């Protein structure tokens, strides 16, 4: 399986560790494809240049659309902690549960979703087929894809952590907030090198 990471350059090493974790722990890996900005390190994969657009979610959608067919969509702040082959379509509740929580950007997106939709935006990789992925005008990408395709979900708690104390090394993935980049790096180095 090809893993696609939409990437906008950042002042951290998250992308490096994300790629290292995929190479070590994703057992069905064929190739890592970074779409967007050029990474600052060499890796065994390809880079497809793509500029960002006016909207973060639409930029990610545009970058994913550069790679045809079935891919594993991941991000530069998602790290594979343990060996994994098949990845379920994880969800964390209903989109209607999110309309009044989080940053205003995300509240606005969730208000555009049917309340009964499953919330697939749990900060972990998701298999998508970019040939049938359609833009639904500002809704969370994984939720619009999963519900638009009628996917069956596997319930989980979100994989994103905000403090290092929340890190659970038994889970298959972890996603971080930007302030955790330097704090989690020694843990990732120990796990991945």
**The two three-digit tokens of residue 124, written as one number:** 């972990």
* Domain edges within the chain: 2-192
Distant-in-sequence, close-in-space partners of 170: CB < 8 Å, separation ≥ 6 = 81, 82
CATH of domain 2-192: 3.90.550
pLDDT tens track, the chain, 193 positions: 999 999 999 999 999 999 999 999 999 999 999 999 999 999 999 999 999 988 889 999 999 999 999 999 999 999 999 999 999 999 999 999 988 877 788 888 999 999 999 999 999 999 999 999 988 888 999 999 999 999 999 999 999 999 999 999 999 999 999 999 999 999 999 999 8
pLDDT of the residue at 68 = 98
pTM of the model: 0.95
pLDDT of the residue at 121 = 95
């Amino acid at each position: 399986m090809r893993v696609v990471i939409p990437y906008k350059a950042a002042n951290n090493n998250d992308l490096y560790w994300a790629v290292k974790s995929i190479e070590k722990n994703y057992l069905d890996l064929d190739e890592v494809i970074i779409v967007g900005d050029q990474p600052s390190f060499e890796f065994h994969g390809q880079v497809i240049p793509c500029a960002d657009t006016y909207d973060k979610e639409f930029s990610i959608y545009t970058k994913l659309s550069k790679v045809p067919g079935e891919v594993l969509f991941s991000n530069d702040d998602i790290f594979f902690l343990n060996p994994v082959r098949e990845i379920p379509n994880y969800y964390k509740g209903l989109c209607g549960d999110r309309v009044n929580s989080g940053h205003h950007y995300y509240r606005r997106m969730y208000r555009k979703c049917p309340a009964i939709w499953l919330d697939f935006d749990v900060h972990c990789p998701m298999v998508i087929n970019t040939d049938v992925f359609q833009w639904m005008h500002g809704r969370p990408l994984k939720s619009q894809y999963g519900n638009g395709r009628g996917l069956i979900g596997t319930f989980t708690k979100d994989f994103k952590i905000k403090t290092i104390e929340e890190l659970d090394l038994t889970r298959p993935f972890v996603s971080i907030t930007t302030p955790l980049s330097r704090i989690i790096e020694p843990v990732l180095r120990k796990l991945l090198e």
